Structure 1
Amino acid sequence: MSAARSEPLTDGVDTELTVDELAARVGVTVRNLRAYSARGLLPPPRMVGRTGYYGREHVARLLLVREMLAEGYSLAMIERTLASAPPTASSATLALHRALLAPWLPPEPEVTTGAELAARAGVAEDTEVIDQLVGLGLVERLDDERIRVLDPALLMAGLQVVSLGVPPEALITAQAQVNEHVRAIARTYVQMFVDTGWRAFVEAGAPHEQLPDILATVGRLQPVAAQAMLAAFRTEMAAEVASAVEVALGELAEPEEV
């Protein structure tokens, strides 16, 4: 983690800084700083008249943004990483937040149009379908034509299901139900982690020497949980298919004996 490198620059930020002083302290241009603010990567400054004043939390955030950019993260990925971070967090807390959250973030969002999405699915364009996707939190409207797909991998899976002949409306209804179940499953696994490794780590005062083990556990939790869920899904899916086939066969008319 880069928190150890970032923390010294936040030490001594007891007085507030103007936008020029903040940019100089962190080593970014004022133009970039304003661009980061416009994207919501920085908390709003304290305004006195028309002058904004920035403190330690702004330095911490800028340091993390700068380091993530240097590591190849896009601004969109950084924006999603910091969206749930406490606005007054220190650089160490932000770095920990980033390390814990990064393995779980979906792929980079994709910008497309409703017409392009319909063409890829092989169906007619329907604004009501897009409205339903927006309601599920799967896409965002950017303007009258463009939309942002928040999870392209889930989109591709959905397009494959539609290509099998399933109407988009039926798939969206089913996906809404699946999301509820998956949310409960995710909550179960996360609570298991919180009640075991994480709680012990916090009660011990978050010792720095234990941090690598915590991050390694978080990094391994996703594939292990996904593997366990897939195995359980296969078992339950096989049972449901067998039951459905049995019912379907039972509904077939028996041939009349000659």
Structure 2
Amino acid sequence: MGGQQPAEPATEELTIDQLAAKVGMTVRNVRAYAGRGLIPPPRLAGRTGYYGADHVARLTLVRELLDKGYTLAAVERMMSELPDGALALGVFETLVSPWTPTEPEVITEQQLAERAGIPHNPETIAKLVELGIAERQDDGRLRIPNPDLLRTGLEVIKLGVPLDAIFEMLPKLLDHADAVAKIYVELFRSTVWRQFADAGLPAEGWPEIQRTLEGIIPLAGQALVAAFREAMGREIEAVAYEELGVAPDTLPSTG
């Protein structure tokens, strides 16, 4: 005997307290962001407001942007152009996920010295904090925002490169990395994104923007590595000639 088909589950709706807990904010902040127009009004049932998936997505995006250092004014400008919170969050995650460092790590100063294979030195720790490689915590331990970067530096130290030389080189390296990142981001912004923005940011275009980003980001990394290998080869040849008098055409291929 046929029975009634089970009803599809209704879209989850949350009170403001549940919404705040879900996105990791205080109710006060949720109200403040709602007052700034960062989320649409809730569905009202009597005197109670109910919030859905789009509210969760938008507030999650707000929190992510603020955590990454954007000002609230900048977040407001960005959010005002996004027609759908879930789509916008997907695009944002596509943008940052491949480049997001591993989870921050918390270690003691002594553990850091042991990993580097050098004696503990407060001046060294102070320099790491100054460069942003480490952050001091209230309990005296160090928070490492980008463990991959620190790990790479420690390996260079183990190869025998002096600390002072690394400290002198690191800001230059980070500056060059910023410059390269700006080139790639501006390329996307001035072409694919500009066409999309000029079309009025149509909702049906967001999935294509995300697919484009998913393809462009790894290709940008591959192109950078390929260009770096070629540049490194040229520099090695030039230095070998200057220091050893070895002609470039007698060196093994660095390609």
SS at match of 2:161: coil
What RMSD, in angstroms, separates the aligned Cα atoms of the two structures?
A: 3.7
TM-score by length of 2: 0.68
Give 5+ residue unaligned stretches, structure 1: 1-6, 11-20, 47-52, 69-76, 252-258
CA–CA distance in structure 1, aligned partners of residues 220 and 180 of structure 2: 9
Q: 1:62 to 1:213 in 2, by over 3 A?
A: closer
Aligned equivalent of 2:209, options 210, 214, 217: 214
CA–CA distance in structure 2, aligned partners of residues 122 and 133 of structure 1: 16
Q: Say whether residues 1:134 and 2:129 are aligned partners.
A: yes
- AA matched with 1:145: G
Q: 1:181 to 1:212 in 2, by over 3 A?
A: same
Give 5+ residue unaligned stretches, structure 2: 1-10, 40-50, 247-255
Does structure 2 retain, via aligned residues, the 8 Å contact 1:81–1:98? Answer: no
How far residue 239 of structure 1 moved from its aligned partner, in angstroms, is 1.4
Q: Say whether residues 1:64 and 2:66 are aligned partners.
A: no
Does structure 1 retain, via aligned residues, the 8 Å contact 2:65–2:75? Answer: no
Moved more, 132-141 or 236-245: 132-141
CA–CA distance in structure 2, aligned partners of residues 79 and 204 of structure 1: 25
Does structure 2 retain, via aligned residues, the 8 Å contact 1:108–1:151? Answer: yes
Q: 1:8 to 1:207 in 2, by over 3 A?
A: farther
Instruction: Render the CA deviation track for 1:120-164: whole Å, top value 9, x for unaligned.
Output: 010112222222222222222113631111111111111111110
Q: 1:45 to 1:110 in 2, by over 3 A?
A: same
Does structure 1 retain, via aligned residues, the 8 Å contact 2:105–2:143? Answer: yes
Aligned match of 2:101:
106
CA–CA distance in structure 1, aligned partners of residues 157 and 170 of structure 2: 12
TM-score by length of 1: 0.68
CA–CA distance in structure 1, aligned partners of residues 144 and 66 of structure 2: 14
SS at match of 2:38: helix
How far residue 104 of structure 1 moved from its aligned partner, in angstroms, is 2.6
Does structure 1 retain, via aligned residues, the 8 Å contact 2:66–2:75? Answer: no
Aligned equivalent of 1:22, options 16, 41, 50: 16
Does structure 2 retain, via aligned residues, the 8 Å contact 1:109–1:150? Answer: yes
Q: Say whether residues 1:97 and 2:92 are aligned partners.
A: yes
Q: 1:145 to 1:100 in 2, by over 3 A?
A: same
CA–CA distance in structure 2, aligned partners of residues 80 and 105 of structure 1: 15
